[in-house]
Amino acid sequence: MSIKQAMVLAAGLGTRMRPITDTIPKPLVKIDGKAMIDYALDSLAEAGVERVVVNVHHHADQMLAHLASYRDLEIIISNEREKLMNNGGGLAKGLKLLAPGKVFVTNADLFWIGERPDAPSNLTRLAGFFRPESMDMAMLCVKLEDTTGHNGKNDFNMARDGALTRFADSGPSPVVYAGAIAMDTSFLDDAPADPFNLNLYFDKAISRGRLYGTVLEGHWLTVGTPEAIGEAEETIRRYRTFA
């Protein structure tokens, strides 16, 4: 199953990244010489996506200029300059700019490295894993030991068939949400028009027994503070050395 459209959540204020984000939006902070959002966009293009919505708010003019220069995808802007919608509200608003049907959702400040070049990419595998008839959302997940920059907490327990529930010490196979989802746009048809957190829909899918996940290949990075930039770049250099 291929997915041809996506949304990248990129409108956050990046407050923990200050003072860097006083003058630049967090998605444009460079890690190993590359803007963080470009890791997400490149992964989507590699997976066969053609059209992407990106929401903008903080330093929106810089985001628009950067996105205008990106050539591998058709990029549509969801404007949140007047009102920041949180991740759930931003997603619900942005999905209205795409055709009904299957879609990827990714974060602009989370990415992964170390995929095998001779194997399907993580997003390609996620698209193949997603089964709309039995899943509201299929998440890309990662084991805690395969993360850099994370807060050390697990998000979910994963059953053998990939079914996800909220993390409990007594549960099976703890995993971290890796910031990428495959879903059908219809799952958010009843979303409120006001800002809300996407966790509301994670819990809705869990209550229906329809939240599933698959574990990514490679190593996952999140860069939330200025100090985390060096740690992320060192991890990238280490993987490059052993590639």
The predicted-structure confidence for 117-172, as pLDDT tens digits, reads as follows 888 999 999 999 999 999 999 999 999 999 998 888 999 999 999 999 999 998 89
pLDDT at 149: 84
pLDDT tens-digit map of 33-44: 999 999 999 999
Contact 180, 196 (CB under 8 A): no
Contact 51, 4 (CB under 8 A): yes
Cα separation of 47 and 66, whole Å? 21
Identify each DSSP E strand in the chain by its residue range: 5-9, 30-31, 34-35, 51-56, 74-79, 102-107, 110-113, 137-142, 147-148, 156-158, 164-166, 174-184, 211-215, 219-222
Is the pLDDT reported for residue 243 higher than 80? Answer: no
Question: What is the Cα Rg of the chain in Å?
Answer: 17
Contact 163, 134 (CB under 8 A): no
Percentage of the chain modeled with pLDDT above 70: 98
As a whole number, mean pLDDT of residues 2-9 equals 96
Cα separation of 10 and 80, whole Å? 10
For residue 50, count other CB atoms closer than 10 A to its CB. Answer: 14
Is the pLDDT reported for residue 177 higher than 70? Answer: yes
Map out the domains of the chain as residue ranges.
5-242
pLDDT at 240: 77
Q: Which numeric CATH code is attached to 5-242?
A: 3.90.550.10
Is the pLDDT reported for residue 200 higher than 60? Answer: yes
pLDDT tens-digit map of 204-232: 999 999 999 999 999 999 998 999 999 99
